[in-house]
Amino acid sequence: MSLRRLWSNPKTLGDVNVVTEELKNLYYKRLMPIEKYYAFSHFHSPCYEDAEFDNKPMVLVMGQYSTGKTTFIRYLIEQDFLGSRVGPEPTTDCFTALMHGEVEGIIPGNALTVDPKKPFRNLDPFGNAFLNRFQCVQMPNKVLESVSIIDTPGILTAARRKMSRGYDFPAVLRWFAERVDRIILLFDAHKLEFSDELTRAFGALCGHEDKLRVVLNKADRVDSQQLMRVYGSLMWSLGKVFKTPEVMRVYIGSFWSEPRQVCDHYQLIEVEEEDLLADIRNLPRNAAVRKLNDLVKRARLVRVRDLIIPF
């Protein structure tokens, strides 16, 4: 089922824009003056800007290399994008933000940090090593009119754990996890190796488990018996890492544009795919709720700052 036929109706999106505008006015008039008075930005994070309210919901796609992250994004937007490469080796070596634009082009990371219309102005502290590995691809695409997608470098396996990226990879993931509306974590049904870097990446997602959706990809390449064993192994490994009493939802699918291989669980893959696409479809409608929730949490942090260190 195509994602571009699943978006909320324009009336609902118009209501979301009205709520977002009211939240922005409330922040600028009531909360922002208090933040400046108590120097809140020196202790937590910089003040919100227009881009924090006006930009579309963001989806962060992450996982180990060769799990199908870039192919998954191509499947969602139904077209290729500039700079994308697909292969069994680690091909994606940078963070790529896919956003809607009338003219197709690539904006480098250093330019993004000075653009007030983009929500990336606070990425400077991660240094040039990261900004040289960060870019924004703008393109006219129907799906990107309602949501922005961030592709990430493949998480390294144990054999490559000694390699240095030149920047704090888990810290960058944590920055994005705090600001995106959904996190898609992809696993390959043929390899479930939990490396050191993957474990550290999980640590960066702590506190944002409500945004996380786990996908067991390439499920049509294994038979039903193998799928049952792989699914159980993945659930057991996730339980050890996240240490939560709740059972995490794992979607089973094969997200690429090629015809799926015929298998016993073909119908299950179809149903799971529809559930995941419906979840992504609801992001624009739920964006106002997420922004309200973030604003309430920020207001509580400001109040705590006032009580601990009063002027």
Fold of 58-283: Rossmann fold (3.40.50)
How far is 169 from 174, CA to CA, in rounded Å? 9
Domain boundaries defined on the chain: 58-283
Nearest to 197 by CA among 161, 154, 234, 239: 161
Residues 6 or more apart whose Cβ sits within 8 Å of residue 291: 20, 23, 53
Helices 283-308, 266-281: inter-axial angle, 10-degree rounding: 60
Q: What is the pLDDT of residue 6?
A: 46
- Does pTM surpass 0.75? yes
Task: Check: CB of residue 60 under 8 Å from CB of residue 182.
Answer: yes
Phi, psi of 67 (to 5 degrees): -95, -5
What stretches of the chain adopt beta strand conformation (E)? 58-63, 95-100, 105-108, 134-139, 148-151, 182-188, 212-217, 250-252
Q: What is the pLDDT of residue 103?
A: 86
Q: What is the pLDDT of residue 164?
A: 67
- For 147, half-sphere exposure in the C-beta direction (CA atoms, 13 angstrom radius) is 29
How far is 195 from 12, CA to CA, in rounded Å? 42
Q: What is the pLDDT along the chain (311 residues), one digit of tens a residue?
A: 555 544 445 555 667 778 888 899 999 999 999 888 888 888 777 888 888 888 889 999 998 887 888 889 999 998 888 877 665 555 567 899 999 988 889 999 999 998 888 889 889 889 899 999 999 999 999 999 889 999 998 887 655 555 567 888 889 999 999 889 999 999 988 877 777 788 888 888 888 888 899 999 988 888 888 889 999 888 888 887 777 777 788 999 888 777 777 778 888 889 999 999 999 988 887 888 888 888 898 999 888 887 887 65
User: Given CA atoms 260, 266, 271, 275 in this order, what sign does their dihedral have?
Assistant: negative
How far is 197 from 199, CA to CA, in rounded Å? 5
